[in-house]
């Protein structure tokens, strides 16, 4: 049994939803899991494993993700740690692995943190859930990338079996 901290940075809630799914699976293995927003992280010393999950918004992870990493680099390197990213670009089979996802590659190039395990998950597309600016930006990006653009579109691209497999891998670390 491990004490695991899962920290999430989520804009529209899908990364938080992935976090809750991970928690359920890890607890079924007997792990003790705490989930928290990146804005309210407890002391890392109390945990055996630290997982950080972050969504992509307008092509970037939130600056708080990089700030958290820089402030906690030593603890992250001393513990078993993992990082996962959630994005709409990961809906595409050619971009849904850490090796092929451009946002994961940009993340790895931007930080010196070397998590033991990486994962990429597709996000959730819900035009009605976005404000007007986000809705128009995302529709434009989806038009460019040949995704759905109808204003009433609601599609969850998260592969929950893949999230469950990631939970198993986290447990085994």
Convert the pLDDT of each residue in 59-98 to its tens digit: 889 999 999 999 999 999 999 999 999 999 999 999 999 9
Q: So what's the pLDDT on residue 149?
A: 92
Grade residue 169 by pLDDT with cuts at 50, 70 and 90.
very high
Give me the residues paired with residue 120 across strands: 85
What pLDDT score was predicted for residue 5?
Answer: 97
- CB count, 10 Å around CB of 137? 15
For the entire predicted model, the pTM comes to 0.92
Question: Are 65 and 113 contacting, i.e. CB atoms less than 8 angstroms apart?
Answer: no
Query: Which pLDDT does position 6 carry in this prediction?
Result: 98
* Contact between 169 and 27 (Cβ < 8 Å): no
- Locate 106 and state its tokens: 């940009």
Residue 87, strand partner residues: 122
Q: How confident is the model at residue 134 (pLDDT cuts 50, 70, 90)?
A: confident
- Residue keyed to tokens 């929950």: 160
Q: Cα separation of 123 and 116, whole Å? A: 23
Q: Is 7 helix (H, G, I), strand (E, B) or coil?
A: strand
């Amino acid at each position: 049994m491990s004490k695991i901290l899962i920290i999430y940075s989520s804009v529209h809630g899908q990364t938080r939803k992935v976090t809750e799914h991970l928690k359920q699976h890890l607890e079924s293995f007997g792990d003790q899991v705490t989930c928290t927003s990146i804005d309210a992280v407890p002391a890392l010393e109390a945990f055996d494993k630290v997982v950080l999950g972050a969504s992509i918004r307008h092509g970037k992870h939130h600056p708080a993700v990089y700030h958290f990493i820089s402030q906690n680099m030593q603890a992250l390197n001393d513990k078993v740690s993992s990082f996962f990213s959630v994005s709409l670009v990961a809906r595409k089979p050619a971009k849904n692995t850490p090796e092929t996802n451009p946002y994961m590659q940009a993340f790895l190039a931007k930080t010196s943190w070397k998590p033991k395990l990486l994962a990429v998950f597709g996000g959730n597309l819900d035009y009605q859930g976005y404000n007007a600016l986000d809705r128009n930006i995302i529709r434009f990006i989806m038009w460019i990338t040949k995704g759905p653009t109808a204003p009433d579109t609601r599609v969850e691209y998260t592969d929950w079996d893949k999230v469950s497999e990631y939970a198993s891998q986290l447990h085994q670390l």
